[in-house]
Amino acid sequence: MQAIAKGGFFISAIMKEFIMSEKRTEIGELGEFGLIDRLHQKVKINQESTLKGIGDDAAVIAAGDHVKVVTTDLLLEGVHFDLSYAPLPHVGFKAVAVNISDVAAMNAIPKQITVSIAITNRFSVEAVEALYSGINAACEHFGVDLIGGDTTSSRSGLVISITAIGEAQKEQLSYRSGAKENDIICVTGDLGGAFIGLQVLEREKQVFLANPNMQPELDKYQIVTARQLRPDARMDIIHELREMGVVPTSMLDVSDGLASELFHICKSSKVGVTIYEDKLPIDKQTYDTAVELNMDPTTCVLNGGEDYELLFTITQEDFKKLEKHPDIHFIGYVNKEEDGKNLVTKSGPAVALKAQGWKHF
């Protein structure tokens, strides 16, 4: 490659052409999803075995009489976790759980993971072992095997990239695109806790930085801080759905916030939704802490991320099978695309649902 000198550095002629000719678009203008959409447009699928590429919680690959699902997530110190309050074993557990959650979101069973890490010399062997104690605990918890990865050095903190591989029968898969008019919208567990937990941990960190003699007061906030630091993936629900013979018509996991995930279902399935504020599940500690922090609990439920609960839609017939389940909540229904995305508020009127999600850029 022909190289030219610029500002004391050598850059390739190809790079120069790119810098000179391309219009510059800020990533913030497109946002994370806009950027992925734009990259997706230029991706060509060459293999018949690629049943689903970009655009769902995991990719789907034909594998004989069944299918494999593959998903990957990247966690960066200072962006996704803060080691001043996140213990390394928890970081390891969470890094696995968030990937297992994407396998669950396809209605598949996780089988293997690979783990790649980049570390600075700030970390000792014992610190890396502490991280792996959490990774190994998660492998045990979810019944998956750690089968490989990569290790390299980093100049800016700890980086963890995990890939999870799962299996399912093709007809058992739940894509984001299968929701139909009149389906019932379900969500597991409770929402908003991880977001509130993060607010509490950040607040206590600031108190500690201002006065290192102050001990953080976290006893009162154990549920919400645990939701942030050591989330579980709802494989229990996936196994129960199988036992009850229910295949959700669409499903994803709540990583970016309920409203944002509902928007994904609407876009992929070409439908609209109506959800009811009074049906949204919130834990008492999440509610009380939101009020204490002067935050609107409903906003936390709709837009707080990282709960790793499952959001799915089922047919009216399947409703009877799940009706009595103590940890599945029925929050609304699917309507025609032209009827929009609606939130029926506690005070009565329906308002347009807004998706704030997590803004990475």
Q: Report, in Å, the least distance between residue 219 CB and ligand ADP.
A: 32
Helix H or strand E encompassing 228 = helix 222-229
Pick 255 or 260: Cβ nearer Mg ion: 255
Please choose, from the candidates 332, 181, 340, 342, the residue with its C-alpha nearest in 3D space to the C-alpha of residue 249. Answer: 181
Report the distance separating Cα 281 and Cα 254, nearest Å: 13
Report the distance separating Cα 45 and Cα 135, nearest Å: 33
The answer to whether 305 and 358 are in contact (CB under 8 A) is: yes
Pick 77 or 306: Cβ nearer Mg ion: 306
Structure-derived torsion over alpha carbons of residues 305, 310, 314, 316, reported in degrees to the nearest 10 = -80
**What string of DSSP letters covers 313-357?**
EE-HHHHHHHTT-TTEEEEEEEEEGGG-EEEE-TTS-EEE-----
Taking residue 177's Cβ as centre, other Cβ atoms within 10 Å add up to: 17
Give me the residue whose beta carbon is nearest to Mg ion.
57
Pick 102 or 232: Cβ nearer ligand ADP: 102
Residue 327 binding result from Mg ion, ligand ADP, none, given CB thresholds of 5 to 8 Å by partner type = none
Q: Report, in Å, the least distance between residue 10 CB and ligand ADP.
A: 28
Q: What residue ranges bind Mg ion (CB under 5 A)?
A: 57, 102, 253, 255
Residue 183 binding result from Mg ion, ligand ADP, none, given CB thresholds of 5 to 8 Å by partner type = none
Q: Report, in Å, the least distance between residue 248 CB and ligand ADP.
A: 15
Q: Report, in Å, the least distance between residue 73 CB and ligand ADP.
A: 6
Could you tell me which residues are annotated as the binding site for Mg(2+)?
Answer: 57, 71-73, 102, 150, 253, 256
Pick 255 or 342: Cβ nearer ligand ADP: 255
Between helix 222-229 and helix 193-210 the angle, nearest 10°, is 100
Residue 73 binding result from Mg ion, ligand ADP, none, given CB thresholds of 5 to 8 Å by partner type = ligand ADP
Strands 159-168 and 250-253, by their bridges, are unpaired
Q: Report, in Å, the least distance between residue 59 CB and ligand ADP.
A: 6
Q: What residue ranges bind ligand ADP (CB under 6 A)?
A: 36, 39, 54-57, 73, 102, 255
Residue 82 binding result from Mg ion, ligand ADP, none, given CB thresholds of 5 to 8 Å by partner type = none
Pick 102 or 309: Cβ nearer ligand ADP: 102
317 φ/ψ angles, rounded to the nearest 5 degrees? -65, -40
Strands 184-188 and 328-336, by their bridges, are antiparallel
Could you tell me which residues are annotated as the binding site?
Answer: 57, 71-73, 80, 102, 132, 149-150, 176, 253, 255-256, 306, 358
Q: Report, in Å, the least distance between residue 311 CB and ligand ADP.
A: 11
Pick 56 or 204: Cβ nearer ligand ADP: 56
Tracing tokens 């007809």 back to the chain, one arrives at 171
Please choose, from the candidates 236, 201, 202, the residue with its C-alpha nearest in 3D space to the C-alpha of residue 308. Answer: 236
Residue 163 binding result from Mg ion, ligand ADP, none, given CB thresholds of 5 to 8 Å by partner type = none
Decide: residue 361, CB within 10 A, 0-12 exposed, 13-18 middle, 19+ buried. exposed
